[in-house]
Structure 1
């Protein structure tokens, strides 16, 4: 028997794990080869057991789910059958095959400028977009302008989904009127998008279940969806994957009860609900989350008495707002590409790639083009959608799907057992607050790096100018605390006292400069030096900044680090930092794993 990857002792396994080119190698061989690499990089000690690679390389999600570095048959041996695409439990897809030779490419519109939005709608539909997601009413496209915006749209071919948290009934009536005036049947996927629970969670509306029931009765004869369980409401607040899943189940179950109590049978009620989830640049968790969501909703539907295809969850995935950054926004193109790949691979019926400049304000034509082309390239050139559920059968993905589903079902049980909707939302808010805290600590320590913000920042960057939103969403952006520091650049630079040759100080100089730039602090580098006098001359030429950071190697620190610190203090340095861990009399030391935010805030105080 093979040793359990979670507790492997390093004993070579007797099972064989197929790897590349049809070759077969034992788990023990993989452990030995991996351990050798980790020892060379000093992530594993020379006397450590080879089996320690599992603990060294494993990661733990914010939900406490352990993800092993290698998928093995043992991981998925005891998991249930995921079924076939289009069949219960719908883990592998809500439909047997994809329509449109891929997923539905759905563009987002929120600009209250009717002329601009009408123009953007036509441009997007002519260049690869299949459906429209329109934020209507307060802060978005005026409801009375929906007919104008949709005038050139063939609504029997292009689905329209609404998001009107403040006036959901009025928006639904307006879209219904457009459909009636055109005298056609609405395209599959069309939804009035009512979501009173999500709107209340965001603080953007009240829970009006009477209006929700009226919207359902309006939608049913038109053959469109009435309600959208928008789980991005909690994701935008900082929720974890499990919390997002559990919330979607709780809200969906509440809507099912509401519609059944209003006189619809459970099959009709289930057919009126669709779901929206966030897709992040954490590729495998996103794939697993969408797969788990379909399995979980099938179970809710099954327990509720749904026996038809209505139990197959209709999913709309949106690239995550919290993961996007205002600074170095072009990196958002990379984030949304990974996220849309994961969403499509995970089986979402529709995918919205938010424009890369979304954190800055209303998108421009260039960013809209990049957004819609991201899905088009993945579908038409990379052929990502050519296979249904391509991640299915991957031991690691199947295990992660199962772990997410089980954890979310347990939390859903807690939420559903609360005595009221208010109590349920309060419970969830409490859990999300803890997740936000845990994530923030990891980001502060740069254990969850944010490229362009906490890592590799451009301190003198000029941001693209964008028109502001009429009513922006309240989003807990992961980069927010670092970006707040960047918004107010430090008043003076930090002097990098480089010790020795370029080879001696470059690594730590780069580390220190990047760390300081992440907090809006510029640096001045001394250059190569042979001793204290060289550094002092460069320090004087730089204007004798109040804060100095020594950058060199350990040999240089031992030889003349303490002498240099004393000399710099005599020359006017008020606060001395050392990049490394040597004891040379510095006020602060910095190294990998430092709480970057705490350090940057303290340094900015010293500069001020």
Structure 2
């Protein structure tokens, strides 16, 4: 057996490469593409991507960019995982969510999940959902010594816990075999409802439950530090992490004040985070969360073993769409992969139809099988910390942790999480973040596949029974697709009322090679707002006018190359106006020819980077006669 000498440089026969050489090559490529970077460093900066929280993804990472070594899996600061073996022994815990208020259907779904790969259950109780009193029926046939149960009962967590404890006793479950979470989260409830009057009483009730769990049920945790209310209100990853840290610290103080040791108090907390389709940010978020909580535990005097954060990942509701919901299967697959790679202890994949209401059996089966494929066929859990050692992931984890810690410190200076929620600090900061992101969504800088990009107007909508409404009144719940889906709803209403969708005529000038790029862009844009497209191609202005009249459309858009616009746009625009077009748009930025185009009858321009939502809203109003404000599609600062 040949053994390489220790320290043998495998690249010794090749000349050393330097970052400056790579930058020079990039500079040359960008110059050929029309960009004019000042130097190699500027060329590298031009390829940098801006991320939330002031983070940046650079095009190249080297060993020089690596932060302080993150340690070993299973040891502080737990960046690389909470256990030395990671998930290699049995994979992560596959946890399925159930929120159906019908106790019989819930029981059937629970048993089906447990028979087909699910390891633990997440039950939403109380309010308009499954009654707390129905918990025994929902868990009929469930071996509570084998399947962990996590409860989510809002303010009724005490009553739900009493039901679960009674079941343990009735079924003679050994206290040491019971596992799960009682789901007490008074600050999370305050975030969702905006109510502050009962937080203190609920926190006292939660600490009493934690004391009982610590004394009698070592495998059951009493409190959940749920970061989903912040994520679902539009928070950035750093804001989500900072709010969870502040909440965890508040609970830690309450538990130790009630008499629990620091280690015992830490053992009563489970953290819940969202996982979305931005896989690298998700991986970094779970790794950074463990590092940050390990620091809190360290300064609190905790032992190393108790300092590892217990994490429950849930695929993001914010990324889910009601339109073309099948694409959600892809989003949740990527999110689940990222959560697993990031080291989450338990993962819940929301069914692809969850934005529409209660999932059907097929959707639940796909949700659990998504995890089964990643675990059993992709072998994702067979490697401890698969992302470890990636210079990009390590640096992103470091930068995200610092941004989250800064936000956490700001909350603490404001008096802690409860005070920051009550004063509006948390809500205002998250609202500002979502407003900034909404601009990117409106301008399609952040695409939503199947909704803002590549929409399918003729899709047959899925119909689901509405799910129970959760607590509200506090932080809002947002989704990336909501502005475009509202436009599609307007289009559907017009279709139902008139038998036809709002329609726009595309005048494609010249041959396919000249107009295809902008014709495709324009059709994709208009259909994202529920506006169907029809059209014709050529250069004959009279033929375009006849085709427009036959189409029944009220608005037209010219699509072609800049060269053909110069030759034919004026005549075609004038002919379309004479044929009755209320508005004539042009796909592309007008540049110096704007005045000439407008003189010929062009009313507005659509191009990449403009406010698509405002443009489409104005066009829908124009086409359907629902309004007369059309400034959004004529102002070049808002071209779509």
- TM-score range, shorter-chain basis? over 0.9
* Alpha-carbon distance in 2 for matches of 1:188, 1:314: 17
- Residue 453 of structure 1 is matched in structure 2 by 451
CA-CA distance at 1:197 after TM superposition: 0.5
CA-CA distance at 1:204 after TM superposition: 8.0
SS at match of 1:260: helix
CA-CA distance at 1:257 after TM superposition: 0.6
Counterpart of 2:376 (choices 380, 384, 398) is: 380
Residue 102 in 1 paired to residue 91 in 2? yes
* Contact 1:225/1:273, CA 8 A, preserved across alignment: yes
* Alpha-carbon distance in 2 for matches of 1:90, 1:189: 23
More displaced stretch, 458-467 vs 183-192 = 183-192
Counterpart mapping for 1:131-530 below 5 A: 131-185=120-174, 190-203=180-193, 206-207=198-199, 208-220=202-214, 221-223=216-218, 224-419=220-415, 421-425=417-421, 426-472=424-470, 475-489=477-491, 492-526=502-536, 528-530=537-539
* Alpha-carbon distance in 2 for matches of 1:262, 1:575: 70
CA-CA distance at 1:36 after TM superposition: 4.8
SS at match of 1:166: helix
Cα 1:422/1:98, change in 2 over 3 Å: closer
- Residue 568 of structure 1 is matched in structure 2 by 576
* Alpha-carbon distance in 2 for matches of 1:525, 1:391: 49
Cα 1:38/1:459, change in 2 over 3 Å: farther
CA-CA distance at 1:538 after TM superposition: 1.0
TM value normalised by structure 2 = 0.88
More displaced stretch, 290-299 vs 533-542 = 533-542
* Alpha-carbon distance in 2 for matches of 1:546, 1:435: 38
* Alpha-carbon distance in 1 for matches of 2:138, 2:508: 60
Counterpart of 2:72 (choices 79, 84, 102) is: 84
- Residue 635 of structure 2 is matched in structure 1 by none
* Contact 1:445/1:594, CA 8 A, preserved across alignment: yes
* Alpha-carbon distance in 2 for matches of 1:479, 1:57: 27
More displaced stretch, 572-581 vs 487-496 = 487-496
* Contact 1:159/1:187, CA 8 A, preserved across alignment: no
Residue 592 in 1 paired to residue 608 in 2? yes
TM value normalised by structure 1 = 0.92
More displaced stretch, 555-564 vs 48-57 = 48-57
CA-CA distance at 1:605 after TM superposition: 2.3
* Alpha-carbon distance in 1 for matches of 2:126, 2:227: 20
CA-CA distance at 1:308 after TM superposition: 3.8
CA-CA distance at 1:262 after TM superposition: 1.1
- Residue 13 of structure 1 is matched in structure 2 by none
SS at match of 1:63: helix
Cα 1:41/1:444, change in 2 over 3 Å: farther
CA-CA distance at 1:183 after TM superposition: 1.8
CA-CA distance at 1:470 after TM superposition: 1.8
Cα 1:26/1:561, change in 2 over 3 Å: same
CA-CA distance at 1:56 after TM superposition: 1.8
Counterpart mapping for 1:548-559 below 5 A: 548-559=556-567
CA-CA distance at 1:151 after TM superposition: 2.4
* Contact 2:546/2:579, CA 8 A, preserved across alignment: no
* Alpha-carbon distance in 2 for matches of 1:24, 1:539: 64
More displaced stretch, 163-172 vs 96-105 = 96-105
* Alpha-carbon distance in 1 for matches of 2:584, 2:83: 63
CA-CA distance at 1:23 after TM superposition: 9.8
* Alpha-carbon distance in 2 for matches of 1:430, 1:398: 31
* Contact 1:18/1:24, CA 8 A, preserved across alignment: no
More displaced stretch, 353-362 vs 496-505 = 496-505
CA-CA distance at 1:390 after TM superposition: 1.0
Structure 2 gaps, min length 5: 1-8, 495-500, 626-640
More displaced stretch, 62-71 vs 22-31 = 22-31
SS at match of 2:52: coil
* Alpha-carbon distance in 2 for matches of 1:297, 1:34: 40
CA-CA distance at 1:283 after TM superposition: 0.6
Q: What are the superposed Cα offsets for residues 39-75 of structure 1, whole Å, 9 maximum, x if unpaired?
A: 5554x33x65343332222112221112212221121
- The Cα RMSD (Å) is 2.1
SS at match of 1:154: coil
CA-CA distance at 1:498 after TM superposition: 1.4
* Alpha-carbon distance in 1 for matches of 2:345, 2:171: 26
